[in-house]
Amino acid sequence: MRVAAQRFEAYLYVLPLVALLLFVFGYPLVRIFEFSFKMVRGIDGPWIGFRNYELILSQGLFWESVLHNLQLLLAIPAMVLISLIVSIMLYERVAGWRLYRVIVFVPFILAVPIIAVVMKRMFQFSGPVNEVLRWLSLDFMALDWIGSPDVALWTVMVLIIWRESALGIILFLARLLSLDEATIEASKIDGASWWQRAFHIIVPQMRGVIEFYVIVSVITLLSAVFAYVYIVGGGRGGPGTATMVIELYIFNALIRTSLPGIASAASVLLFLVAVALMYPLFRARRRVAAEERGP
């Protein structure tokens, strides 16, 4: 009885925080689901069933936004490869590794709007990137990185790769520091090259954390790129709709066209996709924890 009472007492301690979280996050979530089935004008409106969802799914702009989010997923292989190579180099303590560790962590510490503003200045047609290319007599590569509809989304992708790879480096380096160094040292003695050690010894032992990072990156690129495209695209997904993504589509529906029902329906769809990705995320996290505990 005493054990049961102590367990019940522990729940009482966390009850106020749970109630606060339910109020802060749970109530808005319920209201969003409710608004997605209404024609909201002001603070409420009549029930219209699935009409908002039908309107969204029939809009070309919505599907274009979805396509842009899917295109951004192409950044994930580059993020994984960069993170692996840099983390292994830091793990092997190349000359100046302490300085390099600070440099690669800085992008992830800085706020996205700060980075996006700086990068937008750098990639302007008359910005430093094009000036360097012209100085190197590579004028054909001096593109309108921000103003061209054909290039703008890829410029955003470069920015995302540069910043989000820092998280991968942090995760991979943490996993590397928990590995048994005896196997790696033995491979060095046997004459294994750097690439052989990396892809035949180190990477197989990091499968769980790589899966975890990939799933986190998928969720990020589907539902957490608003700040990037808002600043680079001038707040409207420009030029034209070249950098329009789902989050910006929701923002425009709510703020610019005052259609809370449409914005809520799109938010619900995005939320359901994110929830669907949570299961493999937790599976990957359990695998990482099991690997860190060892056999």
CB 47 within 8 A of CB 38: yes
The mean pLDDT of 175-191, rounded to a whole number, is: 77
The mean pLDDT of 75-101, rounded to a whole number, is: 85
Alpha carbons 206 and 291: distance in angstroms, whole number? 8
- Please give the pLDDT value at position 212: 85
Alpha carbons 118 and 249: distance in angstroms, whole number? 24
Confidence of residue 233 (pLDDT cuts 50, 70, 90): confident
Alpha carbons 31 and 15: distance in angstroms, whole number? 23
Confidence of residue 244 (pLDDT cuts 50, 70, 90): very high
Alpha carbons 141 and 276: distance in angstroms, whole number? 41
pLDDT digit string (tens) for 116-160?
Answer: 888 888 888 888 888 988 888 888 888 888 888 889 999 999 999
Residues in contact with 245: Cβ distance below 8 Å, sequence separation at least 6, in sequence order: 65, 68, 69, 72, 225, 226, 229, 237
CB 214 within 8 A of CB 281: no
Q: How long, in residues, is the chain?
A: 295
Alpha carbons 116 and 159: distance in angstroms, whole number? 8
CB 288 within 8 A of CB 208: yes
The mean pLDDT of 164-173, rounded to a whole number, is: 89
The mean pLDDT of 222-233, rounded to a whole number, is: 87
- Please give the pLDDT value at position 286: 73
Separation in Å, CA 40 to CA 15, 30, 58, 253:
34, 15, 19, 12
The share of the chain scoring above pLDDT 90, in percent, equals 22
Confidence of residue 294 (pLDDT cuts 50, 70, 90): low
Give the tokens for residue 252: 């425009």
The mean pLDDT of 67-77, rounded to a whole number, is: 93
Q: Of 3.40.50.800, 3.40.50.1010, 1.10.10.10, 1.10.3720.10, which CATH number belongs to 61-293?
A: 1.10.3720.10
Whether the predicted pLDDT of 3 surpasses 70: no
**pTM summary value:** 0.85
Alpha carbons 23 and 123: distance in angstroms, whole number? 43
Confidence of residue 268 (pLDDT cuts 50, 70, 90): very high
Instruction: Compute φ and ψ for 255, nearest 5 degrees.
Output: -90, -45
